[in-house]
Amino acid sequence: MSDNPQNQQEGAPERPGAPESAQAAQDQGQARAGAQGAPGDTDGDPVDLTDDVQALRHEAATRRRALRTVEKERDQLRSRVDASDRAEAERVAGARMADPSDLWSMDGVDLANFRDDDGVLVPELVAQSVAEVLVKKPHWRLDKPGLNLHQGARQEVAEPPSFGQALKGGRQ
């Protein structure tokens, strides 16, 4: 047998079950590959070309875009709530600490520790954490000067006589 395809087509005897020509064999191979279809290949799969599948794909893409938009908005709102809760926690800590922002520099102190199961900030948890921080770092305590009632005059001072009274008093 010769390796030349023309000789096989023209004069070679056919084997039983063999394709009639090399072109026919290629056509059958392409038909099989098209029927199996490669992933993402829409040319060979007639199901992928239907309007229903295209409509479903379009709907899925639309929902993915909407989901991304909602997730972005959720993240923005979460950061606003976190900033508000952080400011409220610092306001509560400011009653006893010189610098309330020092509260966040302690290990184990996080905004999530001050929230209940519903995510609401609990001021009592903040106050408790401030007390624990001040035990470890007493120099962070707010030193408010107390009201000293012992300053100034303690008894009423008699008013000295005016110049006019001094002159009148001298005539008598």
Q: What is the pLDDT of residues 33-49, one digit of tens each?
A: 444 444 455 555 666 66
Q: Taking the C-alpha atoms of 46, 51, 56 and 61 in order, what is their torsion angle to the nearest 10 degrees?
A: 100
Structure tokens at 10: 């023209």
Instruction: Indicate the DSSP class of residue 130.
Output: H
Tens-place pLDDT, residues 105-115: 888 888 988 99
In our burial notation (b when 16+ CB lie closer than 10 A, e otherwise), range 113-136 reads: ebeeeeeebeeeebbebbeebbee
Nearest-10 Cα torsion for 128, 87, 106, 134: -40
Higher-confidence residue of 80 and 17: namely 80
Of 153 and 21, the structure prediction assigns the larger pLDDT to: 153
0.85 surpassed by pTM: no
User: Where does the pLDDT of residue 17 fall: very low under 50, low under 70, confident under 90, or very high at 90 and above?
Assistant: very low
Cα 57 to Cα 165: distance, rounded to the nearest angstrom: 106
pLDDT at 171: 63
CA angle 94, 97, 101 (to 5 degrees): 70
Residue-wise pLDDT for 70-92, tens only, equals: 999 999 999 999 999 999 999 99
